[in-house]
Amino acid sequence: MKAILVVNARSSSLKFQLFETEPGSRVKRLLKGQLDGIGVRPRLRATNADGAIAMDRMYSPEEVGDLPAAIQVTADWLRGTGNVDLAAIGHRVVHGGPEYSEPILVSPEALDRLARYIPLAPLHQPNNLAPIRTIHELRPELPQVACFDTAFHRGHGPLADHFAIPEELYAEGVRRYGFHGLSYEYIADRLPQVAPELAQGRVIVAHLGSGASMCALAGGRSVESTLGFTALDGLPMGTRPGQIDPGVVLYLLTEKGMDAGAVQRFLYNECGLKGLSGLSNDMRELEASTEPRAAFAIEFFAYRIALNAGMLAAALGGVDGFVFTAGIGENSAMIRARVTARLAWLGAKLAPDANARGETLISSPESQIAIYVLPTDEELMIARHTLAVIGPAAFA
């Protein structure tokens, strides 16, 4: 059986999913898994499409000390599972820079070009590229496709993708790129099946997970995003602050004696819901807490989503629909209710029972905007892209 492996690599974990290629350029999920705790407490877990456990094993830090070792262990296990014949590997790559607006077949030259964007995403890009290099060394004949989180936003106009800084910096790549593009692209693909008329209109999509952003879709195309140059802007996230006055960064540098590395670690790991609550970056824990700081962090999150919705509504010249997606958006009826209440000025009105049950359509019939909950599927999007890029080779 020909299959496509989808890889999403971070510094301490490797997430993967396996898809079978089917006639008609379709893909079917076979299994999903992850190897986390790389170098500390490595554990490989995987479940089949029906949710049954396919693998659960701990390794020593010596066996899986880094990302290349994690790839090797995962690949060995996949090979051992039997009749999987890999046609290609699709990778999530956070940054395609100004150059890439579509997924690409990765060549060694393209890999070098993508490495130039490491300064634009220092925490993610090196980890995204490492598995591509390792696999290329092990299996140079195996096609690898890079799918970019920035690509779906590359059609943004100059008003949306500029900062008010001298043009030389824009020319060298200091731009508002936007991220979570694979998630938004999936939603833009899904919407015509769920709400064909709305899919033609003006829609705000809120991707609310441990990373969070919002995107303005006009007729299914991204026209504006709350994220910019790095994944730090816009909404507060699990451990990142979202929009922050750059003066705060200057204050940390000059008054608190922090160097650039310390500021980076602080902004990526210590802020957002975690910093604000002093308790947790996990929305489930905050919702379960009786601490006033947890309640404040939740209210702040909802408030910032509503503020940013106002900005995106202005970009779109009005709003016809709103979509919640990702971990919090798909699962937290409470956050959806709070956000929707703050969007009453846009004519948003919730159907509380439908919201509590997590139905697809959660707005009441009187609502002036349609409100949906749509589960996202970035890995499926990567598998589809990979299949489209390699074409008939997927079945040869």
Which residues of the chain form contacts with ligand AMP (CB under 6 A)? 209-210, 238, 282-284, 287, 326-328, 331-332
Minimum CB–partner distance for residue 288 and ligand AMP (Å): 9
Minimum CB–partner distance for residue 358 and ligand AMP (Å): 9
Q: Which is nearer to ligand AMP, 202 or 207 (CB)?
A: 207
Burial class (CB in 10 A: 0-12, 13-18, 19+), 76: exposed
Q: Would you call 233 a catalytic residue per the annotation? A: no
Structure tokens at 105: 């077949």
Q: Give Cα 378 distance to the centre of its chain.
A: 7
Minimum CB–partner distance for residue 238 and ligand AMP (Å): 6
Minimum CB–partner distance for residue 183 and ligand AMP (Å): 9
Query: Which residues does 173 contact at the CB level (< 8 Å), separation at least 6?
Result: 97, 98, 117, 120
- Strand 221-225 to strand 212-218: parallel, antiparallel, or no bridges (unpaired)? antiparallel
Under DSSP, is residue 240 helix (H, G, I), strand (E, B) or coil? coil
- Strand 26-36 to strand 212-218: parallel, antiparallel, or no bridges (unpaired)? unpaired
CA distance 215 to 308: 10
Residue 254 backbone phi and psi in degrees, to 5: -90, -40
Is there a contact between 373 and 362 (Cβ–Cβ < 8 Å)?
yes
Q: What is the DSSP string of 94-138?
A: S--TTT-SS-EE--HHHHHHHHTTGGGSTTTHHHHHHHHHHHHHH
CA distance 365 to 335: 21
* In the complex, residue closest to ligand AMP by CB: 327
Q: Which is nearer to ligand AMP, 112 or 270 (CB)?
A: 270
CA distance 212 to 276: 16
Report which of 363, 373, 283, 288 is spatially closest to residue 329, judged by C-alpha positions.
373
Set 50, 66, 76, 149: catalytic member: 149
CA distance 234 to 122: 19
Minimum CB–partner distance for residue 24 and ligand AMP (Å): 30
Minimum CB–partner distance for residue 393 and ligand AMP (Å): 32
Minimum CB–partner distance for residue 237 and ligand AMP (Å): 9
Burial class (CB in 10 A: 0-12, 13-18, 19+), 386: buried
Query: Which residues does 43 contact at the CB level (< 8 Å), separation at least 6?
Result: 35, 36, 37, 56, 57, 58, 59
Minimum CB–partner distance for residue 328 and ligand AMP (Å): 4
Strand partners, 225: 215
Report which of 177, 203, 172 is spatially closest to residue 190, judged by C-alpha positions.
203
Q: Which is nearer to ligand AMP, 74 or 331 (CB)?
A: 331
Active site residues: 149
